[in-house]
Structure 1
Amino acid sequence: MKTPPLVTRFIDAVNRGDASAILEFFDPDTGVVVDAGRRFVGREEISHWNEQAFVGANGRLTPKKVQTDGQKVTIVGWWESNFYTGPTRFIFTLDGERIANLTMGQ
């Protein structure tokens, strides 16, 4: 299971509960997170989501499967948080040293 270093660093930040580090992975204006159909654009919206539903909800990710196709990385893993625990798919679209888009859901 070969995970790109950027995605590995992101998962490490999630699992250590580092909310401010999470924001640095996204462009301040154009970074996008889509969580169960809800869309958050830019660091301000991502920060609010992160504090409420992601790291702030004690989220932890254990990757089980990784697939890489160019700049698209799909992780199927076990997600645990205050709101949901179970299998979840994380689809990362990378742009250099940033995450352009992160889409997650079952």
Structure 2
Amino acid sequence: MTPPTLPPPLAEFIAAVNRGDGKTALAFFGADGVVDDWGTRYVGAAAIARWSAREFVGAQGRLTPTRVSRDGERIVVDAGWASSFYSGDSRFVFSVDGERIREMRIVGH
């Protein structure tokens, strides 16, 4: 099975997450970026970095996309997620602006 094609900047973001490169991964979020992790929101670079250190990159997270689709301007990535914090199938809904991720929402599958 061929892995789904990810548009930029998501391919680079996911590659950075999977190699444990938090600095590069977090640089894809602008200063006012947002992560919504199952309803809990983290706004801004500092809040996202604290969240990521605990639950995302810092938890040795690996994201394995299984399906990529578009919903209007949003890019929806269904993926397997495995980390020391949580593991399971998840849906990642991205809003991007050029090479920046404006928002990443993690929701139930």
Tell me which of 11, 15, 18 is aligned to 1:15.
Answer: 18
Contact 1:71 1:95 in 2 (8 A): no
What is the Cα deviation at residue 5 of structure 1? 2.0
Q: For 1:104 and 1:87, how far apart are their aligned partners in 2?
A: 10
- Structure 1 residues 12-91: aligned runs within 5 Å: 12-28=15-31, 30-91=32-93
Deviations 1:12-41 (A, max 9, x none): 00100001112210111x100001111001
Q: How many residue pairs are counted as aligned between the two chains?
A: 105
What is the Cα deviation at residue 70 of structure 1? 4.7
TM-score by length of 1: 0.93
Percent identical:
46
Contact 2:14 2:25 in 1 (8 A): no
Structure 1 ranges of 4+ moved more than 4 A? none
Q: For 2:10 and 2:73, how far apart are their aligned partners in 1?
A: 11
Q: Which runs of 5+ in 2 are unaligned?
A: none
